[in-house]
Structure 1
Amino acid sequence: MSEDRPARVQGAIETPCIQVCVVDRASRLCTGCLRSIDEIAAWTRMSPEDRRRVMAELPARRDRLPPPALS
């Protein structure tokens, strides 16, 4: 994870969740944690190695989201 998005630990499971649960329709990624719905649903059943693999991929996914809307 990047320094601006540190992984948090909820209980004993490391997670990138930042409590901003909004799924982008086009990319099907959560705009908060950048995980797919399938990854979010399976997270507690994944091995620590699989969770670390997904977390390593998250920074590169930001490019798949549209730029934030300007106010």
Structure 2
Amino acid sequence: MNAPVTTPSAKASSPCTKVCVLDGPSGLCIGCGRTRDEIGLWGSLSEPRRRAIMAGLPTRLVEAGLAPTQAPA
């Protein structure tokens, strides 16, 4: 008898860079830009919500002074 074919579940998208340090003044992770609450809830968020948050992370990091700004081309 053949075993049923199963598809492995897709891994949730994540901006984690394995640099998990929260910046005191901003409350943001200096590696990914998420807040403590976002990090804690990440696995329970829908994929569209995770993608929406990830879209704003680069701007968050720049505005908090945690990432270098892009030099004009």
**Normalization by structure 1: what TM-score?**
0.74
Any unmatched runs of 5+ in structure 2? Answer: 1-9, 69-73
TM-score under structure 2 length normalisation: 0.72
**Cα deviation per residue 1:1-51 (whole Å; 9 max; x = unaligned)?**
xxxxxxxxxx61110001000000000000001000000000000000100
Aligned partner of 1:64 in structure 2 is 64
Could you tell me the percent identity over the aligned residues?
43
**Aligned pairs, number:** 58
Q: Which runs of 5+ in 1 are unaligned?
A: 1-10
Q: Which runs of 4+ in 1 moved over 3 A?
A: 65-68
Considering fraction of residues, name the structure with more strand: 1
RMSD after superposition: 1.8
